[in-house]
Amino acid sequence: QNKNDRHKALLAMAVGISQMQNVDVMARKFLNESYTVMLFHYDGNVDGWRSLEWSDKAIHIVAPNQTKWWFAKRFLHPSVVAIYDFIFLWDEDLGVENFDPRRYIDIMVSEGLEITQPALDPDLSTDIHHRITIRNKMTKVHRRVYDNRSSMNCSDDSKGPPCTGWVEGMAPVFSRAAWKCVWHLIQNDLIHGWGLDMKLGYCAQGDRAEKVGVIDSEYVVHQGIPSLGGPSDTSKLPRRSLDLRTHIRRQSSAELEKFKERWEKAVREDDEWMDPFDA
């Protein structure tokens, strides 16, 4: 009998063969708890994973050069994944030595959290962009960050992102109810997902300052590998790879502006819309 019958979870990741060793470690953590693993192969290479003993237990989906948000929109429709209580939509470059998925889910449930991410180890992680994601060694969970810099000004009075009610796009975890909402937020043609993070709190099934959090006791290392593969150290990248990364960043920035425009247009056109987080 499945010792985790109480909760079912899905780990979904966009992966490339160059990160197979790290993905192997991540997948085993979830499969050992009888959770489901779904791999989105953005490099078209599935056969290269056959050597892993658990490969036949995972779900494999292939589409070259696509992102996890592209895959999620097409293959993680809420009706398709309704059997799962929790959806882990993660990047492939996370170190999980200090992460236990069962304990993580137990914390989400006990804390009443709907949208979360594991905290980042500040000593070993690269590409930490937001202070709220950094692990607090003194707490099990934190829901806000304090920062008195003029550019941030995060205090107890802060009501929204990036001070509270916010998680980053690299390792989000959603309850079933939250995912049903988030899936509709994902834009079919905006494949990099930029801008989603600032709006996830609207899917928190209540007050985002309470229902969204960063879990400190189960934490990960962000290794900072580009999402379509390759080394993280740009000094080792050939010119062509640097050009590709520049192109992706430009496309992501353009998509962010489109996402903002669509949100604002939807708000204007919906006469019955009332922003639940308006002060």
- SS3 labels along 10-28: EEEEEECHHHHHHHHHHHH
Whole-structure pTM value: 0.91
Q: Measure the CA angle with vertex 163, ends 178 and 9; round to 5°.
A: 25
Q: Taking a C-beta distance cutoff of 8 angstroms, is the pair 104, 184 a contact?
A: no
Contact at 8 Å (CB) between 63 and 40? yes
Amino acid, single-letter form, for residue 108: M
| CB distance 253 to 123 below 8 Å | no
Query: What's the number of CA atoms in the CB half-sphere (13 Å) around residue 119?
Result: 25
9-231 CATH fold: Spore Coat Polysaccharide Biosynthesis Protein SpsA; Chain A (3.90.550)
pLDDT at residue number 115: 98
CA distance 132 to 146: 8
Residue found by looking up tokens 């160059």 in the block: 18
Query: Which residues does 135 contact at the CB level (< 8 Å), separation at least 6?
Result: 119, 120, 121, 122, 216, 219
Alpha-carbon dihedral sign for residues 217, 152, 154, 203: negative
In a 13 Å sphere around the CA of 15, the CA atoms on its Cβ side amount to 29
State the Cα–Cα distance between residues 46 and 38, nearest whole angstrom: 12
Instruction: Report domain extents, the chain.
Output: 9-231
User: What does the pLDDT read at residue 234?
Assistant: 46
Q: Decide if 185 contacts 115 (C-beta within 8 A).
A: no
Please state, in angstroms and as integers, the Cα–Cα distance from residue 253 to each residue in 46, 98, 168, 191, 192, following that order. 31, 33, 16, 12, 9
pLDDT at 54: 98
pLDDT tens by residue, the chain, 279 residues: 455 468 999 999 999 999 999 999 999 999 999 999 999 999 999 999 999 999 999 999 999 999 999 999 999 999 999 999 999 999 999 999 999 999 999 999 999 999 999 999 988 888 777 889 999 999 999 999 998 887 778 999 998 998 999 999 999 999 999 999 999 999 999 999 999 999 999 999 999 999 999 999 999 999 877 655 444 444 455 566 567 778 888 999 999 999 999 999 999 999 999 999 985
